[in-house]
Amino acid sequence: MVRKKGVHNTKRKKSKATKDTLARIKSFFYGACFVVVVIAGTLFSYEKLSPYFEMFASEVIRLEKTGVMFPEKESAPVKKKNDAAETQNIQPEKKTLEKVKLPAKAELPVCVVKKTEQVIRHKGYTVSYNSDYRIANWVAYELTREEVQITKIERKNKFVIDPDVKGASAFNEDYTGTGYDRGHLAPAGDMKWSLQAMQESFYLSNITPQKPKLNRGIWKDLEEQCRMWAVDNGALLIATGPVIKPGLKRMGKNRVAIPEQFYKVICTIKDNQYEAVGFLLDNRDYGSKQLKDLMIPVDSVEAATGIDFFPALPDEIEKKVEAKVNKNAWSF
């Protein structure tokens, strides 16, 4: 009995070993089949798709050469600290303030009250000459920083008749022994930039009878002040002349009118804004009186003269700057 039991156990062990071997062979077979199938599928797919792979590779090479596939990277802009766009909502871009400019020929006035006049254009100024009174209605010119800074021409004291004047004119002899200076309207000191301009400033159409203490006093101060303003601001528009009215006294053989008052109006641009100021001076000595105490609106000068100054300015600007004086815009 003992022997049969041993034989039976041995057979059972052999049977189990056989099954294990068969299981391993089966697993190996299945694995091999899977590998074969994968390889076969890969070969089949490559054979079918290889034309497309080649086309794709060619396209990649083409794009790479043209820089489309891999464009060069631009360096990112350096962000500033405390950038307003990062700290708040994006605001609309502010428009650049347009620079204000003096219009061409804006210095030329217009006589509102009818007067006899002949408008003559010279090198450094324009004159509206009144042959009835043998003096000018007005003289106007632009004075620039560059003109003031050129001082190569010395003063010429040769007073002569304006060759362009038609009709009656003053002569040098009309001033002799009268006690009046030959007072410039457009001063010789503003014409040192040109020999022709200097010579023409001594035309008698640019000259009026002035009391010596006016001509050599506060009137001269005003001329010098204008040159300083021209340097400070870049340019001035200046209109000046005598106040002409009926009944003025006369002098000399040619009956030259003697003005009782003189005016000067000035327009400039200060801090990108138009500014204007006027002066109305009696034909007398002002002693120690200061110019800053004599500033008046251009409108006041227009009322006294019957002349419209700076008419080329836009109406709204002309109305504003001529109505009052911004004293802070004029340094002394």
- 184 included as an active-site residue: yes
Residue-wise pLDDT for 105-156, tens only, equals: 999 999 999 999 999 999 999 999 999 999 999 999 999 999 999 999 999 8
Amino acid at 288: S
pLDDT per residue over 153-193, tens digit each?
A: 999 899 999 999 999 999 999 999 999 999 999 999 999 99
Mean pLDDT of 219-236: 98
Residue 94: per-residue pLDDT? 52
CA angle 317–318–319, rounded 5-degree value: 90
Q: If you average pLDDT over every residue of the chain, what do you get?
A: 85
Which of 122, 134, 182, 184 does the annotation list as catalytic?
Answer: 184
> How big is the chain by its Cα radius of gyration, in Å?
50
Please give the pLDDT value at position 24.
72
Stated pTM of the model: 0.71
Q: Which residues contact 139 (CB under 8 A, 6 or more apart)?
A: 125, 126, 127, 128, 185, 186, 206, 239, 240, 241
Strands 207-210 and 181-184 turn out to be: antiparallel
pLDDT at 64: 55
E-assigned strand segments in 145-260: 181-184, 207-210, 235-242, 250-251, 256-257
Q: Where are the beta strands (DSSP E) in the chain?
A: 110-111, 118-121, 126-130, 135-144, 181-184, 207-210, 235-242, 250-251, 256-257, 261-270, 273-282, 307-308
Distance, C-alpha 127 to centroid of its chain? 30
| Residue 6 reports pLDDT greater than 70 | no
In which band, very low, low, confident or very high, does the pLDDT at 54 lie, cut at 50, 70 and 90? low
CA distance 241 to 272: 28
- The CATH homologous superfamily of the domain defined by 110-329: Extracellular Endonuclease, subunit A (3.40.570.10)
pLDDT > 50? residue 306? yes
Let me know: does 111 contact 137? Beta carbons within 8 Å: yes
What's the confidence (pLDDT) of residue 281?
Answer: 98
Confidence band (pLDDT; 50, 70, 90) for 98?
confident
Give buried/exposed letters for 94-109 (b at 16+ CB in 10 A, else e): eeeeeeeebeeebbbb
Q: Residue type at 148? A: V
6 vs 284, more confident:
284
Contact 256, 244 (CB under 8 A): no
Domain residue extents for the chain: 1-68, 110-329
Q: What is the largest CA-CA distance in the chain?
A: 181
